Every structure is written in structure tokens, then in C-alpha cells.
Amino acid sequence: MTDAVWQAFALLGSLNADLIEIIGLSLRVSLAAVLIAALVGLPLGALIATRRFPGRGAAIVLVNTLMGLPPVVVGLMVYLWLSASGPFGALQLLYTPTAMIVAQTILVVPILIALTRQIVADLDAELGEQLRIFGLTRWQQILTLLHEGRAALTTALLAGFGRAIAEVGAVLIVGGNINHVTRTMTTAIALETSKGELALAMALGLVLIFIAGLVNAAAMALRGGADAQLAPGRS
Amino acid sequence: MDQTVLRPIMRDVQVMPIAGDALVVRRDGRTLLDRAALSIAHGAGVTVIIGPNGAGKSLLIRTLAGLVVPDLGRVTWAGSPPDRRRARRTGFVLQRPVMLRRTALDNLVYVLKLHGHNDAAGRVVAMQHLADHGLARVAATNAQRLSGGEQQRLALLRALVLEPEVLFLDEPAANLDPASTLAIERQLNVAVEKGLRVVLVTQDLAQARRLADEIVFLHKGRVLEKGEAHEFFRAPATAEARAFLAGDLVL
């Protein structure tokens, strides 16, 4: 056991090529998923927050439900879509990083919609009338609200990234944990631990903990720095 | 203010006179405006709307300003219904100032840019306005950190930099100390001298006497009196207005 710990640090220290590859893929997949989820989630969240339309209440319940989706269920769903006999089977995406990005995007989108809705709704209650007084169009109002909420929204993005980078069930099912192709930090940890190869598992675990710490520190710095955005001369 | 820096902001577009005809606004089964009728004439001056709590004063100016759509009746700006484009010739100052999360200067730059100034020109104009109104020293301060009085003076300035034809104010001094109230009133008087029409709601009868050229007395959602201020205070025409001025009117 102690040996494994030392080996883990040795692996990290040696910048082992396999290790770097796995970390790199994890970051690429999760960052891509968060980016795509942001493009979908921020506008949808803002829209639900600022517009009244039939089915709005149902949409909010749906989004909140989806937020709690177990990653394995999302994995299964995407697997069924992408498998050879599924509706998107022809794309041959199963067991590729693209499939993992799709699955993680589906996991992150509801979080971003729900958090954005809350953030924008609170801001709209505070600023909405003033923005109408300014004579803004609907879309100008939404853009201004998103801009006003940028610190809180960045925290929401970090929360989404946290969910993506930490999940194992979805990427395992649709990625298949193929060495050098779809092996991520979490799937590698699951595999190596089951094989009794604790060193690599622990090294990756340490990296994950480090990333989690980094994300949290960034979130805190953003909250604390919300006023620093107002440094003189900034537009 | 140096007029040469300022692009002409839609000066060709007119909103005055503003008229509300038989305005009815209902909320939760209660009739808050009950066939209220009011017209605000073109030209400089101060119209002050007074009346007891719950009379519908705030709702009336929001409706005239196009922020609330009446359930019945209609509002016209220079003869046609309110529209978003012309809304930029109207200003509105809320009871509690709403500041964007940026510096005092950038709060002004924001509205100037909305109206076609580029960033550089906007900054020059905004800084000049802050300096003219004794707010230069807070230019780089987070606007939400300013005192209530400073925020309200900035909110008023933010409405005035666009040179509206008419400015609506909903109890702008309700939460302010006497010095800040005085500063606001002085700022308003200067703007009126330059041709602005002010429509002000207030609970403060002393303020109404100080500022008003014209008084509108609102009671239970209806305009009961409208007339020259001095005349109104000397001899109100209705029993309700007499009771209100005497402090006896209870809804």
C-alpha cells in the first residue's frame, strides 16, 4: 500500500506519457462538453427566466429532474442512440471521444439551464424595469442580464465542469474505456483499481482532487473578485 | 455641457404631448386605475402628481411612460401609441435607484452607447456630466457602493444625459436626506430651465409646493383635479383634495 503511494507520486513526477494522455483526454472531453452545454444552457436558462410561455412550469420541473440524472442512465441513453441499430448508428460514434462529449453535454446542460434561470431571474427582478426604461429589446435585456450576472454564471460553468470531469458512468458506457482512445481519469481509476493496480489509480485520483481544488479556488476568487471587476478604467 | 460632443439623439422624434384617456388598470380583481384621464402638455415645466397612498400614482406614471399597458383606455405620445423607439425620448427615475454592476462612469457610458455614442465619445460626455454635477470623485466607484443619495443623483443624471423630452420620477427623494433631496431638486430645476417637462410623483407636500407648476390630484384611481399649483393649494376644488391637504383623508 505504501509502495503504491510512492509509485503514484513517482508516476506523477515522471510525467508518464500514458498518464498525460489520459489527463489530456479527460480535460478535452469535459471542457468541450461544458462549452457546448454553455452555448445551449445559458440562452435557454435566460429565456425561461425572462419569458412567460405555455409549458414554462413543466419545463422548469423537467430541467430540475434532469439535473439529478444518474450518469449511467445518460450513458445508456446515448449508447442506445449511437449503437449500430440506434437512430444515429450510421454516424459510427460509439466508443469515440465524441460520444463521451455528447453524454457529458447532456449531463451538464440541465445544470447550466437551472442555475442560469435562477441567476437571471434574480437579476431580472432587480434590474428588469430599469432595462425596460432604457428601451432595450428583449434580446438586449437578456444579454445585459447575462453580462450583469457574469461572475455567478462563471461559477455555474465551473459547477458544470465539476460534474463532467468527475463522472464515470456515462463515459464508461459510451466510451468503452479503450486504451489510448477513450480512457479518461475516472474510467482508468475504476479499471486499475479493479485490477489491483493502485499506483496509477491513486496518481489519477490525486490529479482529480487537484483539479477539484483548482475549480473551487477559481470559483471563490470569482465571487470575491466580483467587485474587482470594477477596477477603474474598465469598460 | 458641450453640445458639440453630443450627437443629436433622435431630436426629430417627438413624444409630447402625452395623453392618457380613460385608463383602467386592474390587478387581482382590484381596479387600481379607474378611468383616469390626464394629459401632459408640451414644453418646460413640472407636473406633480399627489394623492393618498394607494391612489394609483406610481401606476399612472408607469402607464403614461409606456411601462404598463392599461387594461382599458389608451395612452398616446404625440398622437400615437407608445413605442420602444420613441421611449428613448422619455426618462424614468425609480424610487429606489437601480445601478448596473459597474462604475458610476460606466453606468452613464452604458446608456450613451445604447444611443449611438461610441465608447470614447461616451466616456468624454459621461465624465463631463459627472463633473458638472459634483460626482466626478466617484466616477471610478462601483455604483452599487455609492450612498443612496449619490445613487439617486446618478440615476437622475443617467436619465438626463439622453436629453429626454419628458422625465417621469416616482418619489425620487422618498429615501433621501434633506441635502440629497435638495441636490436632486436643484438638478431638476436646471433641466427644466433648459426645456424639460417633469412629471413627478411625491408624498411630500412641501416638495410639491416647491417644485410644481401644475398639480394633479389622484384619488382611488381617478384624476379628481388638475390645475395650476398655486391655485390648487390656495383653493382645492374637491372635498377629497381639501381633506387630503388637511391630512384628514383616509382611504
pLDDT tens-digit series, residues A105-158: 999 999 999 999 999 999 999 999 999 999 888 889 999 999 999 989 999 999
pLDDT tens-digit series, residues B213-224: 999 999 999 999
Tell me the residue range of the domain where B85 lies: 18-245
pLDDT confidence tier of residue B85, bands split at 50, 70 and 90: confident
pLDDT confidence tier of residue B96, bands split at 50, 70 and 90: very high
CATH number, residue B133: 3.40.50.300
CATH number, residue A22: 1.10.3720.10
Instruction: For residue A233, tell me if it sits in a domain.
Output: no
Tell me the residue range of the domain where A37 lies: 2-227
The pair phi, psi for residue B142, each rounded to 5°, is -55, 120
Angle at A87 between CA A82 and CA A90, to 5 degrees: 65
Q: What is the Cα–Cα distance from A181 to B52, expressed in whole angstroms?
A: 74
- The answer on pLDDT for A222 being more than 80 is no
- The answer on pLDDT for B248 being more than 60 is yes
Distance (Å) of CA A40 to CA A33, A66, A105, A109, B105: 11, 15, 10, 7, 33
CB contact under 8 A, A129 and B67: yes
pLDDT confidence tier of residue A226, bands split at 50, 70 and 90: low
pLDDT confidence tier of residue A232, bands split at 50, 70 and 90: very low
Residue pair B51/B217 in contact (Cβ under 8 Å)? The answer is: yes
Q: By mean pLDDT, which of B99-108, B113-122, B147-156 is the weakest?
A: B113-122
Instruction: For residue B5, tell me if it sits in a domain.
Output: no
pLDDT score recorded for residue B11: 63
Chain A contact set for B114 (CB, 8 A): 134-136
| Minimum CA–CA partner of A148 in chain B | B101
From chain B, which residues contact A within 8 Å (Cβ)? Answer: 65, 67, 84-85, 87-88, 91-92, 94, 98, 100-103, 106, 109, 111, 114, 119, 140-142, 145
pLDDT tens-digit series, residues A181-201: 999 999 999 999 999 989 889
- pTM of this prediction? 0.82
Cα distance from A108 to chain B (closest Cα, Å)?
28
**Tally of domains within chain A:** 1
- The answer on pLDDT for A233 being more than 80 is no
Highest mean pLDDT out of A100-104, B40-44, B88-92: A100-104
pLDDT tens-digit series, residues B21-47: 999 999 998 999 999 999 999 999 999
Instruction: For residue B7, tell me if it sits in a domain.
Output: no
**Tally of domains within chain B:** 1
- The answer on pLDDT for B10 being more than 80 is no
- The answer on pLDDT for B102 being more than 70 is yes
Instruction: For residue A203, tell me if it sits in a domain.
Output: yes
Q: For residue B99, give the 3-state DSSP assignment.
A: coil
Instruction: For residue A234, tell me if it sits in a domain.
Output: no
Q: What is the Cα–Cα distance from B246 to A198, expressed in whole angstroms?
A: 87
pLDDT score recorded for residue A231: 43
